Structure 1
Amino acid sequence: MSKDDLMWKNKVHYYLRFILGMTRSEMLGMLSLFIFLLMADIISRWMEYQSSQHEIDSFQPTYWSKVLVEMESSKKFVKGNSPSRSFSFHRNDANYSSNFHSVGFKRERKQDWQIDINQADSTAWVALPGIGPAFAKRIIAYREKLGGFYQAGQLKEVFGLDSVWVNEHIQQFSVGKGIFRQLYINRAEWKEFRHPYLPYRQANLVLNYRKHHGSFQNWEDLKKVQQLDESIWMKLRPYVSFEP
């Protein structure tokens, strides 16, 4: 296996194991599911092909010849002198609005509610308009991976959650005490050095630099790492701690 292949394999394993939090058995299960779906797709396409071949083989030109003859006969009938009658039309002058009954519609006033997005459990989330059990579970899982929300706009990062919905209710979200788990950059080991915002390559760069140069004192020290993507680390900044 080449060096590039090994690095690619490590990246995939890091993403599945530490970003998505999947166990080895779950990864094997996902691989099995992928193979099953691939085989199902191949079988489905093969059956569609066989079905189309059967339709071609069963084509009956004599049947369509009869249909065409009947169509020609109907055209001759239309062109002939068929009897016709005039009919009278009585205009209805009644006021059309009287035929309709107004249906009362009362727009429900939006309820005033507030929610601490760092403390709310699934029951609290499901109680909100537009949030079901699946979304509640995703929000809580993503919050746990982040280590807490530092602003309500991070809810837009939850997979499938409508950003329009978040914007509409942005004033009703509070972050409470905010982040509850820091990323201790000077003491975290490889298994602990993971975060949804932190790609594999950036984590590897920082850990290798720390190994050879010692602890980071501040952000200026962190910027000394070659090939460091500052945009990624600025996004991570609220979570990073330089405590020894």
Structure 2
Amino acid sequence: MTASRARSLAWAYDGAAHLRALMARMGEDAFAAPSALPGWSRAHVLSHIARNADAMVNLLEWARTGTVTPAYPSRERRDADIEAGAKRTPAEIREDVLGSGDRLAAVVRGMPESAWSATVTHPNGSPILAASVPWYRAREMWIHAVDLDVGASFADMPVPMLLALVHEVTGQLGSREGCPSLQLVASDVDRTWALAGKGRTAESVTGPIAGLAAWLTGRSRGKELRTGSGRRAPALPAWL
């Protein structure tokens, strides 16, 4: 698990409040506008966040009861639900995001301590501990808040969460084809990471922790980052 369950739960709750504030500032016409994710409107992003809450409920119920309950019935069903959800009114979408988040919070509160150590299956097919579900939910809330493209940024995230995110993503990206080997330096928190890629070796990449996180997760081209030679940060393979 990337971060402790208690910290991840706190980040998830803070992310929910952050998203609620963003939605409150969005006018009725803002929902149909494009998001920062290709092919998705903001309504798509918000519908995805709501269905992700339901998916996390399924995984926690699996952990609690022992009855296999996949996060989503299928990839096709997940995509169809998001498409259908994006066609609803802004009021319906807001209510769904808040209601699904409340349902997840209630399930979290009812989890027996022993259930958190159960193994379930992440939507990507990998086995995970139920205790890591709060981390995945926190990640979902904060990153997709940026994807809404309504003024949120990675700088809004708690710094300890950014540190955990960069640690996780560097570990995953290193195995991707074409990923360069880099030394990442967070200039504002005095931390470094080795991105041990299989591609060409390059210099260090330095910048603020929020900028590094945005670049590593594909939400930025890294214009605010610099390499030892002064060149722009290199392109990276997709994280997810």
TM range (shorter): under 0.3
Structure having the higher Rg = 1
Structure with more strand by fraction:
2
TM-score in terms of structure 1 length: 0.25
